[in-house]
Amino acid sequence: MMQKKNRAFLKWAGGKYSLVEHIQARLPQANKLIEPFVGAGSVFLNTQYKRYLLNDINPDLINLYNFLKVQPDAIIHDARSFFNGERNDEKMYYALREEFNATEDEYYRAILFLYLNRHGYNGLCRYSLAGRFNVPFGRYKKPYFPEHEMFVFAEKAQKATFTCLPFEKVFTRARRGNVIYCDPPYAPISKTAAFTSYAARSFGQDAQEKLAELAMRSAKKRGIPVLVSNHDLPLTRSLYKGADFSMLSVKRSISQNGATRKPVDEILAYFPPSAVVKKPKRNQRKTIVAKK
């Protein structure tokens, strides 16, 4: 009997809830799972590792996760009041969005980030070049307050360390015995499909190439297995050359109004660990036992 899956408490474009079983099947046993692009955390929530290192380049996301880990009762209680009829209003939404962009209070900002995520359009997380959150009002009849999902996340977060670092630095923290799962911003399926302003920064082809290089090097040179998700494209197959491929087909909105949905092929690229031979230390003296 399959264990019931845990849902993320955030709405998140590209979330992996529907693909969790496929990802679980490709992830090897390890003492720690490292995610350089944790996003909403569906893989984290549905795997059973002893420890987790969960990273994202979005500081607002990591800020919310840290408060939920340390003060779950307080932040859930305080966030609940933002999910009422009064605040599910276009004028109020834009006023609170402005407060979010202006405040330096990290706790209040965490609460507003959750509010904006659930009341904004289509679960998008988007920033202007100036770093201002700019997702429009979502016009939902009654946005769901994910109290249960937040408590589940908070409980499991006790096994996790959250960081906000470039993905390259996260790879340097991996050790043998760990496994790395990467769910980066996907390579665009067309020239007009690129969406790179998730954290007011771009993730272009140079970053895709760097990630592929680090994945291969970690597996071959350091003995650390790496699993990467992306669109199934000639570009990604070339980037992940030498990996073991699994193909998946998922339905995803490809237009702004969400009316057009079609299967999009995705790929799981697994870089298995190579045996790492330890080099002998230089100038290591041999012990010679004299014959009597």
Q: What's the rounded Cα separation, in Å, for the pair 97 and 133? A: 7
Question: Taking the C-alpha atoms of 169, 57, 204 and 255 in order, what is their torsion angle to the nearest 10 degrees?
Answer: 150
* Residue positions forming the annotated binding site: 12, 16, 56, 183
What pairs with residue 229 in β-bridges? 268
Q: How far is 227 from 200, CA to CA, in rounded Å?
A: 26
130: number of Cβ within 10 Å: 8
H helix or E strand, kind and range, residue 54: strand 51-55
CA angle 166–103–38, rounded 5-degree value: 30
Residues of the binding site for S-adenosyl-L-methionine: 12, 16, 56, 183
Please state, in angstroms and rounded to a whole number, the distance separating the CA atoms of residues 88 and 71.
Answer: 25
